[in-house]
Structure 1
Amino acid sequence: MTTPTPSPLTAAAPEPRTAPHRPAIADGISEVVGGTPLVRLAHLFPDSGIEIFAKLESVNPGGSTKDRPALAMVRAGLASGRLAAGGMVVESSSGNLGVALARVCTAHEVRFVCVVDARTNPTTVATIRALGGEIEMVSEPDPATGDLLTARLHRVRQLLEENPGAVNLHQYGNPANPGAHSAGTMPEIARALDHRLDVLMAAVSTTGTLAGCTAYLRETGMGTRTVAVDSVGSVLFGGHGAPRPLPGFGAGVITEISRTVVPDQVVRVDGPEAVAGARLLARREGILAGASTGAIVHALGRLVGELEPGSRLAFIVHDGGIPYLDTVYDDDWVRRVLGTDADALAAIMADLQRSGRRG
């Protein structure tokens, strides 16, 4: 399967702001992207014997970590001349990148068309439209692969052919995607922890967050172990493709960025487990997050017994949970789509809490 190939970037992206704190008065909404809080979690797994920190990317202006690569990719396109006011961007997204790009493109007077699929939350679709973006909905999976992401990428190619001069920023291979995290996300975490971190956990889809953070860790010699949390049914890192009911988590194609990074460990989480993790995080720490973060929480509970007592671990809260109130946090939706009733979900949560105890 061939992904859309963007025109080569002829100029590097401007260096993102990497200050640990946001300005008191910002010159535009883009200036408050990044600088997100790192929070110590004392209640999630209180008997784990490890220090747990959460990087709250959910407080970015668009509500997710995708604000960083969206801003970096658009700035790179403008710097190279590929983009200018009056131009057009066409991008595939499960939702969060679409929200971020809608905001950035509108600010630069660029038309934005977002190709989403039927799994995308209605709230996210409405948000993209409210920010000035246009929606192209893909309802059926690719007939050859049965994958919705493949179908989305096919629709992107069609739209590029139908609109000469339109640009695909290609988040799956654009170096500005991981670059936003090597220049921003990971340095912020490292500075907050005095560069003492034993484990970093991130969920993967394009793998931009993990790749960028890993690049910084290797360049600085921190020795931090990286854990990629992937979806059951994702083909990333040797996985086997299968339907994935939760958007924005895992991938049905091997992305170009994923070929540049080798995580120290891969943990695969299914839909009900991700839901259980998200709900546990909300009820224990008051952090309402999406399914990919819930998957990290579930994977973390399984890893506690493998970690040395006193280890320091940080994970990415990739997005907020409000767009998921009608899905991840709705018992009827979980039963209908994931085939898991409230009692079974409660049992998963109870098992997770037990596994998160040391000894």
Structure 2
Amino acid sequence: MNTVLASPRFTVSEQNSILNTIGNTPLIHLKQLTARSGIDVFGKLEMANPGGSIKDRTSLSIVEEGIKKGEITPKTTLVESSSGNMAIGLAQVCGYYNIPLVIVVDPKANNHTLKILKAYGVQINTVNKPDKKGGYLGARLNRVKQLLSEIPQSLWTNQYGNRANPHAHYKTMSEITSQLPDVDYVFSATSTCGTLMGCATYIKENNLRTKLIAVDACGSVIFGDAPKERFIPGHGAGLPSQFLNKELVNGVMHISDKECVEGCQKLLKTESILAGGSSGAVVSAFLKRAPSLHKEGKCVLILCDRGERYLDTIYNEAWVTKHLK
């Protein structure tokens, strides 16, 4: 991996731009789910970010932190592994700063996402076989290392280990508490665990009573589940998280791919929100956990992304029947 000294002409933009619309997403009352569960529940609409997902926050934080440190310059090419949303978030930020970007994907990346990346001019590099120990994530990370050795002045943004990832979500939790004071429960999906740990750090440092519930995928190794094939991208992981501190998490729920789809359908039919797979997982986790929650409590579900990218999979009955039934 090579870096060069920062150029004085390459600085973080302070002007009004598309990047200034990242964050400060709406928090809405999910009235139908509230009626169904008996718990006052709200949705943090991260799909309202300009790139369509919570990964916009992560991408902006990582790139602008790299620019400030002088690690990212006009001559830098960025490389990242992504199942979809992080790739789009980076494509947007890199497009604004005119930074070349290479994204490593696997066969589970959906066509809609790939079309968006191509529109941004992103170079797509695909791995076709999973790593024996780390699955497709392990294979993608191996390819990232290979590309760093081949591309001059390249840099790995490393969403899996870059502290700018959880730092971005310190603000996510700050927004939630300003929008809904005295929130009792927050349900957050897991992958890199950046969102989870950013929220956890804010809760701890501000001595909040909020309980943080992690929503992991069945077959994900993050919380020690046995690895197995999964079909819903962006939820769970084949390798342990570098950020996770289990002591800051108040509970974990493992949700199957089928339950992700069921949660997406419930969210669409009850609240008219078309969301992605991890949001469906969070909805299903909340409904399963609701009977044991404090009935006077206030609960927030972090809804990570839009559902349009899953029209050929999660919202396609033939695909669901083939893969999940």
TM-score (norm 1): 0.85
Query: Is 1:193 equivalent to 2:180 in the alignment?
Result: yes
| 1:261 CA drift (Å) | 6.1
Structure 2: give runs of 5+ residues left out of the alignment: none
For residue 353 of structure 1, what is the aligned residue in structure 2? none
1:1-359 map, 5 Å: 27-142=16-131, 144-145=132-133, 147-182=135-170, 184-194=171-181, 196-259=182-245, 262-338=248-324, 340=325
How far apart, CA to CA, are the structure 2 residues paired with 1:203 and 1:333?
A: 23
Provide the identity percentage. 40
8 A contact 1:103–1:132 mirrored in 2: no
1:43 shift after superposition: 0.5
| Counterpart position of 1:349 | none
- The equivalent of 1:351 in structure 2 is none
Shift of 1:242: 1.1
Structure 2 equivalent of residue 356 of structure 1:
none
Amino acid at match of 2:226: H
1: CA distance between counterparts of 2:301 and 2:240?
23
Q: Shift of the alpha carbon at 1:48?
A: 2.1
User: What displacement does 1:288 show?
Assistant: 0.5
The CA deviation at 1:310 is 1.4
Q: Secondary structure at the match of 2:80?
A: strand
User: Offset of 1:146 from its aligned partner?
Assistant: 6.3
Q: Deviations over 1:245-290 (max 9, x none)?
A: 1110000001211247641101001111110000110110011100
- Alignment-derived partner of residue 350 in structure 1: none
Q: What amino acid does structure 1 have at the position aligned with 2:105?
A: V
Q: Which runs of 5+ in 1 are unaligned?
A: 18-25, 341-359
Cα deviation code 1:92-141 (max 9, x no counterpart): 00100000101111111110000011111110111111112111111211
Is contact 1:211–1:261 with CA below 8 Å preserved after alignment?
no
Change (3 A) 1:274 1:61: same
RMSD: 2.0
More off after superposition, 235-244 vs 321-330: 235-244
Using the TM superposition, give the Cα deviation of residue 50 of structure 1 relative to its aligned residue in structure 2, in angstroms: 1.3
Shift, 1:164, TM fit: 3.0
Kindly indicate whether the alpha-carbon contact (under 8 Å) linking 2:134 and 2:238 is maintained by their aligned counterparts in 1. no
Q: Deviations over 1:289-339 (max 9, x none)?
A: 00100001111111111011111000111000000011000000011122x
Structure 1 residues 53 and 97, CA gap change in structure 2 (3 angstroms): same
